[in-house]
Amino acid sequence: MRTDTATDRHVIEATALRRRYRASGSKATKRNSANTSPTATRGFEAVRGVSFTVARGELFALLGTNGAGKTSTVELLEGLAAPSGGQVRVLGHDPYLDRAAVRPRIGVMLQEGGFPSDLTVRETVRMWAGCTTDARPAAEALEMVGLTGRAEVRVKMLSGGERRRLDLALALLGNPELLFLDEPTTGLDAEVRRETWELVRHLRDQGTTIVLTTHYLDEAEALADRLAIMRRGRIVASGTPAEVTAARPARIRFELPPAVSAGELPLSVPAAVHGRRVEVRTERLQEALTELLLWARDKQLELVGLDARSASLEEAFLDIATGEGEELAA
């Protein structure tokens, strides 16, 4: 019986987490990687004091450019490596030291599953099920990811997208409370991507806590309850997708009406004019838009191509994750 209410609320608690890759030959290795760069041989701190929590039933996305430290962080949560500093609790346990307690309760979808390619899909799932506590039936796992019709096909004959779905089926076998999805839709076509999103939403709605790393910002925007953006080993922005984008200016675009010059636009709306295209960037979208529309009505002008929208997560991400300036607060 679990009595710890903080644990019930927070499936993951990471506090000032650090991870340093030591010089070559150390035990601190990263899965699927054999980094022999000079940086790696000198030792390199990939995670530099990261703190966050993930609540039960929440879908939390970890974003960042290549090399930001996402995989290095997630591996600490999965118990694949010990942190070099800070603390991590997963389902109330240290995932590295208490791996036996944590592992049966989590599902991990790796970036590259790496299973024997001569086995069929069904054989692969059965083999994996043999290593999984209370595995769900193979047929059920395949049905969930839409691979039922491919059960007798050898893994080496699968497309890249089908392999990702097989990876997902394996991660779901143990009916995990906590699911780690590492770029789950890479290589999937648009339709299968949407189906995967539906499955992920369904799992979340059933109460599965999900940690997602992805390079697709529309995926994070569509799925995440909360997200964190990493840059150079630190979390530089976090919150709901709406909170992360709210701090970024919205934009309004339209065609400058004929017989109107740029100088005649309402002054309190600072606008950039390129040819006849007008673009307004503003942190007060509603106010600026109202002012513009009232001005247009007053002048009886039609604003052709009018398009007003809040910043997308993609715009916010590019601003935040690739920014070269001072580090933003987490």
Q: Which is nearer to ligand ATP, 68 or 155 (CB)?
A: 68
- 46 binds ligand ATP per the rule CB under 6 A: yes
Instruction: Return the closest-CA partner of residue 181 out of 286, 110, 237, 231.
Output: 110
Q: Which is nearer to ligand ATP, 41 or 148 (CB)?
A: 41
Q: Which of residues 52-111 bind ligand ATP (CB under 6 A)?
A: 64, 66-72
**Cβ 241 to ligand ATP, closest distance in Å?**
19
Q: Which is nearer to ligand ATP, 135 or 313 (CB)?
A: 313
Binding span for ligand ATP by CB under 6 A among 33-41, 118-126, 150-158, 200-208: 33-41
**Cβ 110 to ligand ATP, closest distance in Å?**
12
Q: Which of 12, 17, 21, 77 binds ligand ATP (CB under 6 A)?
A: 21
**Cβ 317 to ligand ATP, closest distance in Å?**
13
| Total count of residues recorded for the chain | 330
**CA 92 vs CA 9, 86, 177, 226: distances in Å:** 10, 15, 13, 21
Q: What is the dihedral of CA 13, 168, 62, 112, to 10 degrees?
A: 110
**H-helix or E-strand containing 61?**
strand 59-64
Q: Which is nearer to ligand ATP, 25 or 130 (CB)?
A: 25
Q: Which is nearer to ligand ATP, 35 or 133 (CB)?
A: 35
Instruction: Return the closest-CA partner of residue 289 out of 277, 298, 281, 299.
Output: 281
Q: Does residue 109 sit in helix, strand or coil?
A: strand
Report residue 140 as tokens.
């059920």
Q: How are beta strands 277-282 and 271-274 bridged, if at all?
A: antiparallel
Q: Does residue 296 sit in helix, strand or coil?
A: helix
Rounded to a whole number of angstroms, the distance between the first and last alpha carbons of the chain is 35
Binding span for ligand ATP by CB under 6 A among 2-10, 26-34, 136-144, 280-288: 26-34
- 44 binds ligand ATP per the rule CB under 6 A: yes
Q: Which residues bind to ligand ATP, rule: CB under 6 A?
A: 21, 29-30, 33, 35, 40, 44, 46, 64, 66-72
